[in-house]
Structure 1
Amino acid sequence: MHSNDRQLKDVIKELIDTYRLNDGLNEAKIIGSWESVVGKMIANHTEKLRISNGKLFVRLDSPAVKNELMYARGKLLKSLNETVGKDVIKEIIFL
């Protein structure tokens, strides 16, 4: 019975890899970690987050917050990717 559990685990992993579901899961984790990475104040000024082709699009309601985040872009990119343990996001675009 224990070997069947292992086989099922392998099949599930293979399905996830085949259908590239890990990409979507990692993107969801990054979006879900936004508030913990940037803090509540900045999260409150965030209107929308979207990931497409390795780019994180961040819509903000404050030019001052946008300016602040532009200076911290590299650190923010690193922190977000660390939440999933791989480089999912290659670029952050503030809107």
Structure 2
Amino acid sequence: MSDKPGTDRPAAGDGPAARTPKAAEGSAGGEPAAAASGPELARAVLDAALSRRQAAARARRTPGGGDAAGGSGRRLRGYSGPGPDPRDPQPLSAVLNRLVKARGWQQPAAEATVFGAWERVVGAEVAQNSRPVKLENGELTVEARSTAWATQLRLLAGSLLKQIASEVGHNVVRKLHIHGPAAPSWGKGPRRVRGRGPRDTYG
């Protein structure tokens, strides 16, 4: 069968099958070729998106990745990998320690430990016979159970300061003020009347 004059026959490399490698070659760079058909274009777009996702995952797993801990500081999404990851469950104590350091609460937290864990700080025997009353500017006021215990604690002031420093840190308590129990008051009600001075009440 003879060809009509003026009609161009397709060459051996111009069919759809010949254009497929070109489309695939264009999609390898991340952008599909404009001459690709509909299914080929969709496949090229999916392949490019998959390659970008895999590259981002590899960057997160590398030590110098931008999304790693200490990197750009951006919040990570999705599931953590097999290695250490900031999205892994953290112990509550570690989270609280980071919060205290970030807010600058080390000194108030140490001072609160003196009152909240007095028995652990000074020992059970001393804690049963004394209690902390006030802590201001590194000076701790301690009230002893009796006058004899107040005298004993004054003799042990140096060792108590070392023990407190080992438990809550240095420069939290620098000086101790120790006194005996407060004297009983015979006053009743909100009003007071000046007495006649010292006298033998039980004579």
Instruction: Quickly name the TM-score band, shorter chain normalised.
Output: 0.7 to 0.9
* Contact in 1 for aligned 2:118/2:131 (Cα 8 Å): no
* Contact in 2 for aligned 1:81/1:87 (Cα 8 Å): yes
Structure holding more strand per residue: 1
Give, in angstroms, the shift of residue 87 of structure 1: 2.2
Q: TM-score, normalised by structure 1?
A: 0.72
> Which residue of the partner structure matches residue 133 of structure 2?
49
1:19-67 residue CA offsets vs partner (Å, 9 max, x unmatched): xx22110011122332134333332222543211100111123011110
SS in 2 for 1:26: helix
> Which residue of the partner structure matches residue 33 of structure 1?
117
Q: Which runs of 5+ in 1 are unaligned?
A: none
In 2 relative to 1, CA 32–92 (structure 1 residues): closer, same or farther, beyond 3 Å?
same
- Cα-Cα RMSD: 2.7
CA distance in 2, matches of 1:59, 1:38: 14
% identity of equivalent residues: 27
Q: 1:87 aligns with which of 149, 171, 183?
A: 171
Higher RCO (C-alpha 8 Å, min separation 6)? 1
In 2 relative to 1, CA 69–2 (structure 1 residues): closer, same or farther, beyond 3 Å?
farther
CA distance in 2, matches of 1:30, 1:81: 10
In 2 relative to 1, CA 76–2 (structure 1 residues): closer, same or farther, beyond 3 Å?
farther
* Contact in 1 for aligned 2:140/2:176 (Cα 8 Å): yes
